A = this chain, B = another copy of it.
Amino acid sequence: MNATPAASDLKSLGESFAGRRCLITGGLGFIGSNLAVRLAGLGARVLIVDSMIPAYGGNFFNIDGIQDKVHVNIADVRDPHAMEYLVLGQDYIFNLAGQIGHLESMEAPIDDLRVNTEGPLNVLEACRRVNRTAKLLYASTRQVYGRPRYLPVDEAHALQPIDCNAVSNVAGEQYHRVYFAAHGIRSVCLRLTNTYGPRQMMKDESGRYAFIYYWIRRVIDGHPLMIMGGQQGRDYTYIDDCVEAMLLAAASPAADGEVFNLGGEPMTHLELADVLIDVAGGGTKQIIELPAERRAIDPGVIALDYSKIRKALGWEPRTGLRAGLERTVEYYRNHRDRYWNAGDVAAQQTGALQGTAGAHRS
């Protein structure tokens, strides 16, 4: 809380984004929609692009309350013609659309590569053709480091992917850096750690994309938390802090061509489970063995060093884990019907597009 922005070129976020055109790919998902809400509040002209792939986290309820302030366009980032039209005239492009499941990436690696690498590359290609002045932000993952050689892991740590999702993210990062160096298309990459909060996907009942939403869902429903192993260590970023980092990095010329870790409070899975049960007002744990297919791609204990972004942009986490979980549990208790059942969620979304603002060029 005592960070001081070191970069003298930092403008206020309002100054950077008010009236500016901001494209968010994956904008109906967890992080994209929280970013859209924040940008709309700053007075930006927000264009959300989302493919609404059924298994992923796109949910029209995520933009409830800002429907008339944002434009929604359903398209896949792999569609070259759509992207070429959509990137035109944008000031900021948040290249967030992605397949986020590590386990999923091992079972369907070609899809993971296409969504996480070819899609963002396709957005970069569209910018090369028609918009070389936009500033891009790419969301990568701490999984690119693999199993840490030292803790906390800084940006100089070797990239040693142990799952396919990490490979596709490394490539996504590197394409952004190549386009900056070779074509002058400005971008910044953030390596996100475990991010949690309102608007995250809840319809999956197996915990295959992440364990934190899975536990939140189970504790709210009064089911025991299924803890696989328990000694794994992770650090957690509350969604508002993640969004703040994205805005700071997008707004800052000093961040061009850079990659930054985010971070947060490190703890073991077992410790997290205890905090969550306490926050929820009760719950039980059930410890099971870490299944072999998860063990093969588990990084063990990992925590990120985020001093680089603190020094460069003045960012640091402002919401502690307990406070963040309190807000999260409250949000889902209030909106359970909008997130829990995949079939219901889909039914609610029929016709939702027509309820949003019109063509983005208006």
Contact = CB atoms under 8 A, between A and B. Distances in A.
Q: How many copies does the complex hold?
A: 2
A296 B182 contact: yes
Contact of A182 (B168, B174, B177, B297): B297
Contacts of A168: 171
A117 interface: yes
A135 to B, nearest CB: 20
Contacts of A297: 182
A110 interface: yes
Contacts of A166: 174, 178
Interface stretch (A33-41, A156-164, A211-219, A238-246): A156-164
Given A117-B117, A121-B110, A125-B109, A174 B167 contact: yes
Given A118-B110, A118-B113, A182-B106, A171 B177 contact: no
A170 interface: yes
Given A110-B121, A125-B109, A297-B182, A159 B159 contact: yes
Contact of A125 (B110, B118, B163, B181): B110
Contacts of A51: none
A20 interface: no
Contacts of A131: none
A271 to B, nearest CB: 27
Contacts of A121: 109-110, 113, 164
A174 B170 CA distance: 10
A356 interface: no
A176 to B, nearest CB: 10
A178 B164 contact: yes
Nearest to A159: B159
A122 interface: yes
Interface string A293-311: 0001100000000000000
A122 B164 CA distance: 12
Contacts of A114: 118
Interface of A: 80, 106, 109-110, 113-114, 117-118, 121-122, 125, 158-159, 161-164, 166-168, 170-171, 174-175, 177-178, 181-183, 296-297
Given A80-B110, A182-B296, 13 more contacts: A109-B125, A110-B122, A110-B125, A113-B171, A114-B118, A117-B171, A121-B164, A162-B181, A162-B182, A163-B178, A166-B178, A167-B171, A183-B296
